Amino acid sequence: MSEKYWLLKTEPETFSIDDLKNSPKKTTTWEGVRNYQARNMIRDEMSRGDLVFIYHSVKDPGIAGIGKIVREGYPDHFAWDPTHKYFDPKTKQESPTWFMIDVQLVKKFRSPLSLSFLREQPGLEGMELLRKGSRLSVQPVRKKEWDLIVDLAE
DNA sequence: GCCAACGTTGGC
DNA sequence: GCCAACGTTGGC
């Protein structure tokens, strides 16, 4: 069973790779995904040990580094907290709608790979991230794309 | 700030 | 089940 590769989006003004770096054990919960397609990947497909790119969206968009899934999908309890911004009144404790994972920092890139730089790279044309209108906050990454990007970062 | 792309909601 | 209206995401 080989590890799989993913990309996780975050808005750095909400939670950045530096926040992850400064977290205890460099590990954080990754909650708040409220999209069914992304939920399905978190709940059904991600495994402990899979690697993820940490992608910063909106402000200086680009891949900032690498993380590792250290806990597989489990119910996102923030959905049941009425005071929390991720509260979802429609989901029930008996049948959780939303799931979260725990992610540990593996490395922060010396300099992030910007979206515009990635667009220029031969071999990445088919990447979900680069598709016009791509909004998924959790995306699968092909092994060849993963390897190419890791090479570019070094 | 603009706006294209996309997901969700709700009337019918 | 269709689809218009609306809200959100996110690049630029």
- pLDDT tens-digit series, residues A51-67: 999 999 998 999 999 99
Q: Nucleotides of chain C within 7 Å of a protein C-beta?
A: 8-12
Which residues are within 8 A (CB) of A79 and not within 5 positions of it... i.e. 6 or more apart?
A: A86, A87, A88, A91, A96, A97, A98
Say whether the CB atom of A9 is under 7 angstroms from strand C. Answer: yes
The alpha carbon of A32 is separated from its chain's Cα centroid by a whole number of angstroms, namely 11
Q: Measuring from the CA of residue A114 to each C1' atom, give the nucleotide at the shortest distance.
A: C11
- Among all strands, which nt has the closest C1' to A39 (CA)? B7
| Pair A151, A109: CB distance under 8 Å | no
Rounded Cα–Cα distance for residues A85 and A78 (Å): 8
A119-145 tens-digit pLDDT: 999 999 999 999 998 999 999 999 999
Percent pLDDT > 90 in chain A is 81
User: DSSP alpha helices (H): ranges in chain A?
Assistant: 17-21, 36-40, 115-119, 143-153
Task: Enter the DSSP assignment of A41.
Answer: I
- State pTM to two decimals: 0.91
H-run or E-run covering A107: strand A99-114
CA of A36 to C1' of B7 (A): 10
The order of strands in the sheet holding A62-75 is: A27-30, A99-114, A62-75, A51-56, A5-10, A138-140
Q: Which residue has the tokens 């979900």?
A: A128
